[in-house]
Chains A and B, each alone.
Chain A
Amino acid sequence: MPTVAEPRAKRPESFIVRRLSGFSIRYSIFLFFGLFFAVVAFLRPNFISLGNIYDILIEASLVIFVAFGEAIVIAAGAVDLSLGNIAGSGAMIACALLSVREFSVPAGLSIGIGAGVLIGLINGVFVTRLYMNSLIATLGTMFMLIGLLYMVTFGQTIMLLPDAFTMLGTGSILKIPIPIIIMAFVFLICHLLMEKTKYGRTIQLIGGNIEASRLSGINIKNVILFAFVACGLLATLSGILLAARQGLANVDLGERFLLQAFTAAMLGTVIFGGRNVIVGTFFGSIFLISLINGMTILGVGPEWIYFAQGSLLLGAILLNYYSKRVLPGLYR
């Protein structure tokens, strides 16, 4: 099995150099996106119109929960590749119950979310009880879910969803779209969870140094399990919101989530140097979605948008590596 390479600790010479490098990592991201926004806004003034900003926020609110989930799992020193499919499965189950079986909205939603939590739990058991590498275990789960979802739904598209459900994605309260309100609410909960509660702090401790956490008597298995369950829950939330927004659900509903959530979470981990991951991921998601939005407005082809997302992911990973291994002691 792969082993983690030895950290090669190169200490930069002076305090000023370290400080400058730290600042440049943190602000280079803001600077890069700031410049991009300025260029797009100059070329296409529509980009900064209120309508488009709402569009960006709503789009971001659809992907942001999955990104939070991935950020929590990454903070725990693991990774979840199945979250797009968890989102799809949870949403499909909820929509099928609502539309075909005519369940009430709360009942259908809670069963769909319950399914997502269950899949997250299974992932967590694979990683913490069977000691599987999280990347491979969740890759296996991902393919199993693809098969299971086809088996249950025969690849059908589910439409005719009740209005009370689609309201979640399309309605607004006091002229503020409901997805944005939910986003603000979940953002607050996740942030408080990660920064103010024992579980959240422990997750970050484990991600930082698993050996030290074990020696200090933390039940690492259950904490990592909890991170996977939280990820399953958040992923399903995203899937359900997307289904409510589209007014339909199909088997590849969650397909786009993986790359986007992973990129946003990676950006979020880097922006504040491994701290405040939820706030970071919030910025990461907004940056990512406005990048896609801006490129679309500029008329860039879909393959280049895909390419830009991949490069952004690679850039975030490299920055993360640089800030953790090359500049040790600055952040942690």
Chain B
Amino acid sequence: MSRTESNLGQLIINYGAIIAFLVVIIFFSISTETFFRLGNLQNIIIQSTALGLCAFGLTLVLIAGEIDFSYGGLIGLVGAVLASMLAHGYSALSATLVCLLIGGASGLLNALLVVGFNLSSFLASVAVFFLCMGAERVYSHGVTVWIQNRTMLSLVQGHIGPVPIPIVLLLGFSFVCWFLQTQTRAGQHVRAIGENIQAAREAGIRTSLVKSVVFVLAGLLFAFAGCLETLRNGGAIMYAGKQLLLFVLAASFLGTATFKAGKANFPGTLVGAFFLITLMNGFTLLGMKFYLIPLAQGLILIASVAISSMRRKKIEQVKF
């Protein structure tokens, strides 16, 4: 392989997602009139909020070298609980706290299965995913509950000054996540565990504790994202989490193809979330058919994962 080729490959691996993102933005700006307007761009960021926060949770787990699918069920469960609690007259604060509690409990369950029972995190979190989905179905009986609570809805509809609250939330959370992960000792420990757990253990990091905390934090992020998603939908719709399943996964893996060459990172995930929502937004503006959405999701997921795993040169096994 010549030198220029390997440089080009390096460029694609490091900045592939950003280049593709720019291409997509230019394409939509030219092909539709409404895409590049302030209102639409603002809309894209607002729509990215729940997806982004959820993907941050997944990114945190990916940095620790594990994976967590439980959000696919948890988001729906949290939504059902939130909507029905508000409908029964509980305050916005208490409903949110209960939702976060559920998220933390689900994270704790993941941690128990992965750290305590030494199960593969794939399997453990898929089991929790199904468990949450079953619980949602039993709890809600498939009935859609709409939310009327003004305080709660202002979380997605309100403004601070001229800036919509979701944008503040998304950018705030991404900064906090990035800061905690890269600038604090505990955050560095998370990365160390993901890179080489044996070395981390021998360096004196309490790997079980850090991993458990990571799963619980991820559960909390998923639950909060679930609340936002429910509010954005205006109510609890059956299996809302299932629709986000691939989006979140794709956003996090797109992040690994951005900035940090094959490794999960928060800024990359933020770009990934924007990228996906932009794509969907543009598709809608162009009047594309609904069935192109799963097709595009699958393609993007495969392309982004391929970019981040091609360099490994080693078949990865799934152990049960």
Interface pair B295/A144, CB less than 8 Å apart? yes
B246 within 8 A of A: yes
B130 within 8 A of A: yes
Q: Which of B292, B306, B317 contacts A126 (CB 8 A)?
A: B306
Q: Kindly identify, within residues 255 to 279 of chain A, every residue whose CB is under 8 Å from any CB belonging to chain B.
A: 259, 266, 269
Interface pair B314/A310, CB less than 8 Å apart? no
Q: Kindly identify, within residues 1 to 34 of chain A, every residue whose CB is under 8 Å from any CB belonging to chain B.
A: 1-8
Q: Which of B62, B67, B134, B289 contacts A151 (CB 8 A)?
A: B289
Q: How far is the CA of A74 from the CA of B122 in the complex (A)?
A: 14
Q: Kindly identify, within residues 103 to 141 of chain A, every residue whose CB is under 8 Å from any CB belonging to chain B.
A: 126-128, 130-137, 139-141
A306 surroundings in chain B (CB, below 8 A) = 134, 137
Query: Which of A74, A143, A304, A321 lies at the interface centre, i.e. has the most chain B CB atoms within 10 A of its CB?
Result: A143
A314 within 8 A of B: yes
Q: How far is the CB of B214 from chain A (nearest CB, A)?
A: 12
A288 within 8 A of B: no
Interface size class of B (residues with CB under 8 A): 35 or more
Q: How far is the CB of A263 from chain B (nearest CB, A)?
A: 10
Interface pair A142/B298, CB less than 8 Å apart? yes
Which applies to chain A's interface (DSSP): helix, strand, loop or mixed?
Answer: helix
Instruction: Mark B35-46 against chain A: 1 for CB-CB distance below 8 A, else 0.
Output: 000000000000
B320 surroundings in chain A (CB, below 8 A) = 74, 266, 269, 317, 320-321, 324
Instruction: Mark B191-220 against chain A: 1 for CB-CB distance below 8 A, else 0.
Output: 000000110000000000000000000000
Q: How far is the CA of A137 from the CA of B123 in the complex (A)?
A: 16
Query: Which of B67, B114, B309 lies at the interface centre, i.e. has the most chain A CB atoms within 10 A of its CB?
Result: B309
B8 within 8 A of A: no
Q: How far is the CB of A306 from chain B (nearest CB, A)?
A: 6
A314 surroundings in chain B (CB, below 8 A) = 127, 130-131
Q: How far is the CA of A146 from the CA of B246 in the complex (A)?
A: 13
Interface pair A151/B291, CB less than 8 Å apart? yes
Q: How far is the CB of B40 from chain A (nearest CB, A)?
A: 25
A78 surroundings in chain B (CB, below 8 A) = 317-318
A325 surroundings in chain B (CB, below 8 A) = 118
A148 within 8 A of B: yes
Given A77-B319, A130-B310, A135-B122, A140 and B127 touching (CB < 8 A)?
Answer: no
Q: How far is the CA of A317 from the CA of B121 in the complex (A)?
A: 12
Given A131-B312, A310-B131, A139 and B123 touching (CB < 8 A)?
Answer: no
Q: Kindly identify, within residues 300 to 315 of chain A, every residue whose CB is under 8 Å from any CB belonging to chain B.
A: 303-304, 306-307, 310, 313-314
Interface pair B118/A5, CB less than 8 Å apart? yes
Instruction: Mark B121-137 against chain A: 1 for CB-CB distance below 8 A, else 0.
Output: 11100010011011001
Interface pair A132/B305, CB less than 8 Å apart? yes
B182 within 8 A of A: no
Instruction: Mark A288-332 against chain B: 1 for CB-CB distance below 8 A, else 0.
Output: 000000000000000110110010011001101100110000000
Instruction: Mark A66-103 against chain B: 1 for CB-CB distance below 8 A, else 0.
Output: 00000000100111000000000000000000000000
Q: How far is the CA of A186 from the CA of B16 in the complex (A)?
A: 45
Interface pair A140/B301, CB less than 8 Å apart? yes
Chain B minimum-CB-distance residue to A127: B315
Instruction: Mark B75-95 against chain A: 1 for CB-CB distance below 8 A, else 0.
Output: 000000000000000000000
Q: Kindly identify, within residues 280 to 320 of chain B, every residue whose CB is under 8 Å from any CB belonging to chain A.
A: 289-299, 301-302, 305-306, 308-310, 312-320
A167 surroundings in chain B (CB, below 8 A) = none
A182 within 8 A of B: no
Q: How far is the CA of A135 from the CA of B320 in the complex (A)?
A: 12
Q: How far is the CA of A207 from the CA of B315 in the complex (A)?
A: 12
B65 within 8 A of A: yes
B188 within 8 A of A: no
Chain B minimum-CB-distance residue to A321: B119
A220 within 8 A of B: yes
A210 surroundings in chain B (CB, below 8 A) = 315, 317
B293 surroundings in chain A (CB, below 8 A) = 147
Q: How far is the CA of A61 from the CA of B302 in the complex (A)?
A: 33
Q: Kindly identify, within residues 128 to 174 of chain A, every residue whose CB is under 8 Å from any CB belonging to chain B.
A: 128, 130-137, 139-148, 150-151, 155
A224 within 8 A of B: yes
**Which residues of A come within 8 Å of B, CB atoms?**
1-8, 74, 77-79, 126-128, 130-137, 139-148, 150-151, 155, 207, 210, 220-221, 224, 259, 266, 269, 303-304, 306-307, 310, 313-314, 317-318, 320-321, 324-325
The list of the 4 closest CB pairs from A to B, nearest first, reads A147-B295, A150-B291, A144-B298, A143-B298
